[in-house]
Structure 1
Amino acid sequence: MASKRIIVGMSGGVDSSLTAALLLEEGFEVIGVHLQMAHDVPGSVASGCTASTDRQDAIRVAAQLGIRIEVIDAAPAYDEHVLQPFLKSYQQGLTPNPDVWCNEFVKFPLLLAAADRLGIEHVATGHYARTTERGELLRGIDPEKDQSYFLCRLSTEMLQRIRFPLGELRKTEVRERAERLRLSTAAKKDSVGLCFVGDIDVSQFLRERLPQSPGNMVTSSGDIVGQHDGLPFYTLGQRKGIELPNGPWYVVGKRLETNELLVSNVQGDSQLFVSSASVERLHWIGGEPDSFEQIDVQLRYRQPVQSAVMSSLQDGQLLLEFSIPQRAVTPGQEAVLYEGDRVVGCGRVH
């Protein structure tokens, strides 16, 4: 395979635009690939970042840089591997990570498939993370933008073929370099929200697609204090949207079998805190550790790492015992395991 050619996933944002520019400066022949993850979703946009706008921006930057770009319709793969499992998970009382699934099942498999088709070894994206030749995954140097959490389910074999040029930069540097190069996306706002629909409130998105199933809001003592419109629309620790007297009220649990939402107006309610959690669907980068011992755990994106002791359980599960009780450890979320800056592996909170 040609070593000086590289595929760059171009989303239409400033990060992937600068990634392509930096690799050109390194002497690579860059071929852009824009994955159209979803067709325009009515009501899904709050800041102007639609699927068609992102596609046009990616094509515009490619023309500006003088590189070819290919647009691949990834919507069918997205629907199968991300959107439908996302909706199903919420119906099962879980709070999933669609961005993790996107990277694992859609984005990088499609980019690598495009590279294979063209006889190219490496692909690159604008993620804030780092890789090594051995296929290790490391945090990006900018702690505010590090995205290694979302990349935790990539395999060692995939990581050996992936480059993240922005992993060595801070976001402020990325903006400055893009402005110096006069890239057309230099001032474009970062996208936020769900990876497949853009800037939209998750609860709103779910309400548009899942049937309402009203039930009681109850306290731990069994008192009915209100009504909810469906368990999928709430998550552990949530305060927003619970309009009851004598608040604020927080979600402290769900009872799927009785369709009850457990709530509390006690600040720091102990029901929200756990000293341990089991995780399943384990994934190791570089192989399973020889021994299970002290590890750093990140339970959600941008959460500070927490110290824990890990031990093996039956049925392929792992037990994490936290040094400090953790708030709102939510089933369905990824628990990402770190040794320093290196991602050791991950598991889904059970």
Structure 2
Amino acid sequence: MKQKRVIVGLSGGVDSSVAAYLLKEQGYEVIGLFMKNWHDDSVTISNECPWLEDSNDAMLVAQKLNIPFQTVDLSEEYKERIVDYMFHEYEMGRTPNPDVLCNREIKFDVFMKIAMDLGADYVATGHYCRKGVIEKDGTEIYQLLSGKDNNKDQSYFLCQLSQAQLSKTLFPIGELQKSEVRKIAANQDLITAEKRDSQGLCFIGKVRLPEFLQQQLAPKEGVIIEVPEDYSGYQKNIPNFSSEEERLAFLSEKNKYSKQDGTVVGKHQGAHYFTKGQRKGLAVGGTKEPLFVIDTDVSENIIYTGQGKQHPGLYRHGLFVTQEEVHWVRPDLQLQEDETLEVLARIRYRQPLEKATLHQTSTGLYVIFENAQSAITEGQFVAWYLEDELVGSGVIS
């Protein structure tokens, strides 16, 4: 029988190195491919994650494992699909998640197409997640399952994958703990065994976000307003709802602020550089508790803040995803209008899963949490799970 060919995205980190090693051990024909996605080192902090060092490490791993290796330059696609999109989202006052997009648009689209052109049966990555296969009505259905290492589970970053993409993907380290991965790398004498995990933007490394954004979004001075905890807008009377959808909209409604709702406590260089829940970078002292961003208004260029992480302006019970932004990893579980589903959900990576109920309406999907959530942020992804299986996701509107 012909060996199945797997193309591994070798990033120069320990996870993808061990993924390649394990696949080779399992008898696959393995080829290592390094993606070069970024040229501009002027915005990366120190030598945290320069692509040159990473590609060199990836090449040394490939040599050690005795597998073919090449580099592909995807910087044009990355700029178009990720960086330009990020600038646009920040400009609109939303906060995108480049890692989720990078997986959907680059690793499992552009990169996957290159791999298939090279005759691959599968692509593999060093993600901490697992793939399951079940049969339903005579059809094979692929499951995206969380990684066994609860502390490293990366299923959230893959929340936009499709059945077609999952069918062609392998996650060799999903059953392992990070400590086991490092041990395997050390035993195989791989150069990446002790290498620190990369931080920051997918492929770009640690970036000074304001400087990165300033390349396209000009600084613009505005005011920082502190909204008190006893702001009258927080004392909402619950009305009598004429429909279920009205109730869901009420629970998901964000607070609207104006200048009169608080006091000016400082200045900033552009509301589009800030995001909800942010604490650093405000440079306002003299408050009893630290200030957190509770909202940004990019049209008026105002940042609204509140003291302390329990400030009522940070919390909401629900969120809405427009119909075109709803994505089911498991299309067979898709809700029809007026249907509901009890799930576990998270609105950011590493957040513990929270109990929630999905409500499908004619215009989109409401996600209503049992407990109020802090800093629900437009542009970020909400992902929902049934036990340890990620079944769908959407962009918070």
TM-score between the two structures when normalised by the length of structure 1: 0.95
Aligned length: 349
Amino acid of the structure 2 residue aligned with 1:237? G
State the match for 1:132 in structure 2: 132
1-side partners of 2:197 and 2:263: how far apart? 44
Does the 8 A contact of 1:7 with 1:111 survive in 2?
no
2-side partners of 1:137 and 1:345: how far apart? 10
2-side partners of 1:170 and 1:215: how far apart? 46
2-side partners of 1:203 and 1:144: how far apart? 29
Amino acid of the structure 2 residue aligned with 1:236? K
State the match for 1:307 in structure 2: 355
2-side partners of 1:297 and 1:37: how far apart? 31
Query: Superposed, which structure 2 residues align to 1:216-255 within 5 Å?
Result: 216-220=223-227, 221-247=261-287, 248-255=290-297
Does the 8 A contact of 1:2 with 1:121 survive in 2?
no
- The equivalent position to 2:327 in structure 1, one of 283, 300, 318, is 283
Residue 159 (str. 1) matches residue 187 (str. 2): no
Does the 8 A contact of 2:43 with 2:208 survive in 1?
no
1:106–1:67 Cα change, 3 Å: same
Does the 8 A contact of 2:277 with 2:294 survive in 1?
yes
State the match for 1:179 in structure 2: 186
2-side partners of 1:170 and 1:224: how far apart? 48
1-side partners of 2:330 and 2:198: how far apart? 31
SS at match of 2:206: coil
2-side partners of 1:51 and 1:268: how far apart? 40
Cα drift, residue 43 of structure 1: 3.8
Does the 8 A contact of 2:89 with 2:96 survive in 1?
yes
Residue 78 (str. 1) matches residue 81 (str. 2): no
1:265–1:166 Cα change, 3 Å: same
Residue 188 (str. 1) matches residue 230 (str. 2): no
Query: Superposed, which structure 2 residues align to 1:192-207 within 5 Å?
Result: 192-207=199-214
2-side partners of 1:142 and 1:46: how far apart? 30
1:102–1:2 Cα change, 3 Å: farther
My pick for the range that moved more, 78-87 or 193-202, is 193-202
SS at match of 1:62: helix
Cα drift, residue 56 of structure 1: 1.1
Structure 1 unaligned regions, length at least 5: none
Does the 8 A contact of 2:272 with 2:298 survive in 1?
no
State the match for 1:117 in structure 2: 117
Residue 340 (str. 1) matches residue 360 (str. 2): no
Amino acid of the structure 2 residue aligned with 1:293? L
Does the 8 A contact of 1:292 with 1:312 survive in 2?
yes
1:214–1:179 Cα change, 3 Å: same
Cα drift, residue 257 of structure 1: 2.9
State the match for 2:303 in structure 1: 261
Q: Deviations over 1:60-110 (max 9, x none)?
A: 111111111121101011001001101111111111100111110111213
State the match for 1:146 in structure 2: 153
2-side partners of 1:266 and 1:304: how far apart? 21
Cα drift, residue 174 of structure 1: 0.3
Does the 8 A contact of 1:194 with 1:202 survive in 2?
no
Greater Rg by CA = 2
My pick for the range that moved more, 199-208 or 174-183, is 199-208
Cα drift, residue 207 of structure 1: 3.6
User: Structure 1 vs Structure 2: percent identity of aligned residues?
Assistant: 38
- The equivalent position to 2:365 in structure 1, one of 318, 325, 350, is 318
2-side partners of 1:244 and 1:122: how far apart? 51
SS at match of 1:167: coil
Cα drift, residue 223 of structure 1: 2.2
1:193–1:313 Cα change, 3 Å: same
2-side partners of 1:292 and 1:283: how far apart? 16
State the match for 1:101 in structure 2: 101
Does the 8 A contact of 2:10 with 2:125 survive in 1?
yes
TM-score between the two structures when normalised by the length of structure 2: 0.84
SS at match of 2:320: strand
Amino acid of the structure 1 residue aligned with 2:326? L
Does the 8 A contact of 1:6 with 1:30 survive in 2?
yes
Structure 2 unaligned regions, length at least 5: 134-140, 228-260
Amino acid of the structure 2 residue aligned with 1:299? I
2-side partners of 1:193 and 1:256: how far apart? 24
Cα drift, residue 2 of structure 1: 5.4
Cα drift, residue 276 of structure 1: 1.0
Amino acid of the structure 1 residue aligned with 2:15? D
1:266–1:59 Cα change, 3 Å: closer
1:197–1:116 Cα change, 3 Å: closer
SS at match of 1:120: coil
Residue 331 (str. 1) matches residue 378 (str. 2): yes
Does the 8 A contact of 1:40 with 1:51 survive in 2?
no
Amino acid of the structure 2 residue aligned with 1:289? Q
1-side partners of 2:171 and 2:282: how far apart? 41
Does the 8 A contact of 1:61 with 1:183 survive in 2?
yes
SS at match of 2:42: coil
Amino acid of the structure 2 residue aligned with 1:285? V
2-side partners of 1:96 and 1:137: how far apart? 22
1-side partners of 2:263 and 2:89: how far apart? 28
Amino acid of the structure 1 residue aligned with 2:38? A
